[in-house]
Structure 1
Amino acid sequence: MRILVVGKGGREHALVRALAESPGSPELFCFPGSDAIFELAKPVPVDGLETLVEWMAANAIDLCVAGEESYLVKGEGLANLCERNGIPCWGPPKESAQLEASKEFAKEFLVRNGIPTARATATDTLEEAVAAIAGEYPTVLKFDGLAAGKGVAVCPDEASALDFLDEVFTQRRFGAGRVLVEQCLTGPEVSIFAAIIDDRYLIFTPARDYKRAQDGDLGPNTGGMGAVASRQLVSPELLARIEKEIVRPTVDGLRKEGLPYRGFLYFGLMLTPAGPQVIEYNCRFGDPECQAVMPLVQGDLAAFCLAGAKGELQENLVSFSDGWSVCVILASAGYPESSRSGDGISGLEKVTDARVYHSGTKRTADGAWETNGGRVLAIVSGGDTREAAVADAHAAADLVDFPGRQRRRDIGIFNF
């Protein structure tokens, strides 16, 4: 089997490694990829989405796996182009990927289908947003578009809200777009992942990520400073409720509204006192949750995704460990406001009992590793208990260093 994975970060590194460990030993390719990914998959000599799909068609690719969300909605859409060229794609078409690409589209979908979610108002200007907030803090502000995990702000007061609205409407940090002013929900968060194939689905291992930069959930929002994954994270009773009230109605809504879907769908949930509610959808695996979940997936992920892309749900091809997995992110100096590249990374060779996924690194001319982005590395360890996985992951993370390194030391500990 010949598989091409689209993306370049730590999530894609984890997907590529999981696919590489499938029993059939598939031949792997990746675009745009990274130096670390290219130790497992071959690079593809193309310069864009359309030439990528042409290359896949010319090189007998059996399956395209969408890792990075932007390609699903870029141009005509990755899955749409794949379908036109007869290439099975594990990832939804552009029209369905609007669930992630547009916060407003997702909110309207949730409301139409009676799926629990926070109240929200769409606004076109800074003044409209301030009026919609109406002095009620904390409030949640969401840019209506893709923003690499940085388009959402939980604002405790007027000053923080005005700062974010200035970034969106005045500085145009994320480009043109509206802002959703949303009710601030309270409670622990959980990420639910489902492999959706038309009207059927399979729920993968739940996870919880850590968005804030500093210990104790303090500091600015980031793309994620770590994650914990386990079947034990959510009780069977709560998972059954989530399936009944959120997952099944989402799948039914997609079918009813003529939105085809074959691929992973991420449900970002808040477990409020009134019950689970949807914060957001992502039309792919989460990052860094993917790095925590993939080591718990057993079986033949490659065959599972190929069958799914062809419309068949073959649950017998995968199973899930009952243990725990903890992912600790090492980030570069300045993150999340900025990132610094070119800092030498030391200690990777000392990590022997944990998995290392590269999010933002590159090889130097002499073969060493250096930083090349905001989130640099994900150090992941598993165990039968959460405490064992936490201890091993943090011990492994202690072995790796680079100038300006940032990390949280309470991943897997805080909020448990």
Structure 2
Amino acid sequence: MRILVVGSGGREHTIVWKLKQSQRVTEIYCAPGNGGIEEIATCVPISPTDIDGLIHFAKEQKIDLTVVGPEAPLLAGIVDRFEEQGLKIFGPKKAAARIEGSKRFAKELMQKYQIPTASFQAFTDPEEAKAYVRSHGAPIVIKADGLAAGKGVVVAQTVERAEQAIVEAMETRVFGDAGKEIVIEECLFGQEVSLMAFVDGQTIKPMVIAQDHKPVFDGDQGPNTGGMGAYSPVPQISQAVVDKAIEQILFPIAEAFHQEGIQYKGVLYAGLMITQEGPKVIEFNARFGDPETQVVLPRLKSDLLEVILAVVDGKLAEMEIEWSDEAAVCVVMAAGGYPGSYQTGHEITGIPKNDEKQIIFHAGTKLVDGKLVTAGGRVLGVTAIDKDIPKAQQKAYQMVQQISFPDAHYRKDIANKALN
């Protein structure tokens, strides 16, 4: 089969890497891809949101299946458009992708179907939002309603910081139109976990859980990022808690879509807080998480292509999905200054060779005159697989030590929560 993967990050590199292991794959293209993906697939210079260009390419190259990585094309309706053209594609349609595209839509859906989440209020007027914060106090969570590349959330420890976050989102528009409406939520306490699932409209097959590290600095300090690293499994979270989340969150949200007349096909991502009252939803995403994919897909023993085709064809119930008992740890190496402004174009050296147990997933890289250079905020996802978390963590950091580029920044405590 001829496959097209849409996107250019570490998640897409992981998807391409995993699909390449399938016996049925003959050719993989990635639009636009990155410096690492270029080593294992053919990269084509088409933007993920250039849907006309992607349709033209898929027809011209007789692509059998398109797999969408990032959220922006999903919310732009890429799946609807491809299906209208009779092209096979993996991902939720525009109406279903709203679960990620609008925090308000997601919260109201959860409220209607009694899915456990933080109490909330949505605002279009900054003054009303500030008054709400003053009456409720801190800590409190301010979220831009729309897409903000994982950076549109501020957990404000003081009322002043909350008001500043409201001004940034609604008045100075640091997230563009994504911040014209905001959602203010109570602050939940506990450990965060990411629970992803394959969904084909009827059937849900959960993946193994992972834990992401959002803040940029060690000890969960500093501003939120797209994710500074992840690990799987999460030994401190019991299977009973995971089962409860599947029962009280995943199955009900799938039923909610069904009741609303929306067919959900693709990957559904639930970002959860494990509170003292049990798991509660922080957010839903309509695609694979990044960097969680870099630790979840290496643990998938089944053929990813077969799983994706089962989802697309509505035959997921017939599929037995197998997972490895091994552990995976991914440390993100980022550009200095990320998630704020940062420089690109720095040469990257010392990347160790990939093998089955150590894989460098490229996120923000490109090849220029045969040299690999930085081309984004998150540059590499250094991933190690071993029999347990301590061994995988040790191996990942040994690999990080070998790699260098100017101003490289990474957290030194990825997966520490699993060790304590």
Tell me if both proteins adopt one fold, taking TM over 0.5 as the criterion: yes
Cα RMSD (Å) of the superposition?
1.6
Report the Cα offset of residue 280 of structure 1: 0.3
- Residues 317 and 368 (structure 1), Cα distance of their counterparts in 2 relative to 1, 3 Å cut: farther
Report the Cα offset of residue 179 of structure 1: 0.5
| Contact 2:117–2:280 (Cα < 8 Å) also in 1 | yes
| Contact 1:209–1:228 (Cα < 8 Å) also in 2 | yes
Q: Which residue identity lines up with residue 344 of structure 1 in the other structure?
A: E
Q: Aligned partners of 1:231, 1:119: CA distance in 2, in Å?
A: 26
Q: Any gaps of 5 or more consecutive residues in structure 1?
A: none
| Contact 1:140–1:181 (Cα < 8 Å) also in 2 | yes
Q: 1:333 aligns with which of 331, 336, 358?
A: 336
Q: Are residues 1:22 and 2:22 paired?
A: yes
Q: Aligned partners of 1:233, 1:90: CA distance in 2, in Å?
A: 33
SS of the equivalent of 2:87 reads coil
Report the Cα offset of residue 314 of structure 1: 5.7
SS of the equivalent of 2:249 reads helix
SS of the equivalent of 2:316 reads coil
Q: Any gaps of 5 or more consecutive residues in structure 2?
A: none
Give the equivalent residue in structure 1 for 2:12: 12
Give the equivalent residue in structure 1 for 2:366: 362
Q: Are residues 1:147 and 2:148 paired?
A: yes
Q: Which residue identity lines up with residue 363 of structure 1 in the other structure?
A: L
SS of the equivalent of 1:96 reads helix
Give the equivalent residue in structure 2 for 1:132: 132
Report the Cα offset of residue 339 of structure 1: 2.0
Q: Aligned partners of 1:26, 1:295: CA distance in 2, in Å?
A: 21
Q: Aligned partners of 1:118, 1:135: CA distance in 2, in Å?
A: 14
| Contact 2:364–2:376 (Cα < 8 Å) also in 1 | yes
Report the Cα offset of residue 350 of structure 1: 6.3
Report the Cα offset of residue 240 of structure 1: 1.6
Give the equivalent residue in structure 2 for 1:237: 240
- Residues 234 and 323 (structure 1), Cα distance of their counterparts in 2 relative to 1, 3 Å cut: farther
Q: Which residue identity lines up with residue 389 of structure 1 in the other structure?
A: A
SS of the equivalent of 1:121 reads strand
Give the equivalent residue in structure 2 for 1:60: 62
Q: Which residue identity lines up with residue 365 of structure 2 in the other structure?
A: T
SS of the equivalent of 2:108 reads helix
| Contact 1:208–1:229 (Cα < 8 Å) also in 2 | yes
Q: Aligned partners of 2:233, 2:326: CA distance in 1, in Å?
A: 6
Report the Cα offset of residue 351 of structure 1: 6.6
Q: Which residue identity lines up with residue 69 of structure 1 in the other structure?
A: E
* Segment drifting more, 406-415 vs 180-189: 406-415
- Residues 234 and 254 (structure 1), Cα distance of their counterparts in 2 relative to 1, 3 Å cut: same
Q: Aligned partners of 2:61, 2:273: CA distance in 1, in Å?
A: 44
Q: Percent identity?
A: 39
Give the equivalent residue in structure 1 for 2:170: 169
Q: Aligned partners of 1:233, 1:94: CA distance in 2, in Å?
A: 36
| Per-residue deviation, residues 254-302 of structure 1 (Å, max 9, x unmatched) | 1111111110010000001011000100000101101111111112111
| Per-residue deviation, residues 155-181 of structure 1 (Å, max 9, x unmatched) | 101232233222212221222220101
Q: Aligned partners of 1:194, 1:135: CA distance in 2, in Å?
A: 35
Q: Are residues 1:409 and 2:418 paired?
A: no
Q: Which residue identity lines up with residue 162 of structure 2 in the other structure?
A: A
| Contact 1:350–1:399 (Cα < 8 Å) also in 2 | no
Q: 1:73 aligns with which of 65, 72, 75?
A: 75
SS of the equivalent of 1:227 reads strand
Q: Which residue identity lines up with residue 56 of structure 2 in the other structure?
A: E
Q: 2:252 aligns with which of 249, 260, 265?
A: 249
- Residues 65 and 117 (structure 1), Cα distance of their counterparts in 2 relative to 1, 3 Å cut: same
Report the Cα offset of residue 45 of structure 1: 5.6
Report the Cα offset of residue 50 of structure 1: 1.6
The normalised TM-score by structure 2 is: 0.95
Give the equivalent residue in structure 2 for 1:111: 111
| Contact 1:344–1:370 (Cα < 8 Å) also in 2 | yes
| Contact 2:352–2:399 (Cα < 8 Å) also in 1 | no
Q: Please list, as runs of the form range in 1=range in 2, the aligned pairs for 1:1-400 lying within 5 A after superposition.
A: 1-44=1-44, 46=46, 48-74=50-76, 77-133=77-133, 134-176=135-177, 177-230=180-233, 232=235, 234-313=237-316, 316=319, 318-349=321-352, 354-365=358-369, 367-400=370-403
| Contact 1:390–1:412 (Cα < 8 Å) also in 2 | yes
- Residues 233 and 388 (structure 1), Cα distance of their counterparts in 2 relative to 1, 3 Å cut: same
Report the Cα offset of residue 379 of structure 1: 0.3
* Segment drifting more, 306-315 vs 354-363: 306-315
Runs of 4+ in 1 over 3 A off after TM superposition: 44-47, 231-234, 314-318, 349-353
- Residues 308 and 351 (structure 1), Cα distance of their counterparts in 2 relative to 1, 3 Å cut: closer
Q: Aligned partners of 1:26, 1:412: CA distance in 2, in Å?
A: 36
* Segment drifting more, 127-136 vs 393-402: 127-136
Q: Aligned partners of 1:299, 1:22: CA distance in 2, in Å?
A: 9
Q: Which residue identity lines up with residue 201 of structure 1 in the other structure?
A: I
| Contact 2:32–2:45 (Cα < 8 Å) also in 1 | no
Q: Aligned partners of 1:315, 1:379: CA distance in 2, in Å?
A: 34
Q: Aligned partners of 2:291, 2:260: CA distance in 1, in Å?
A: 31
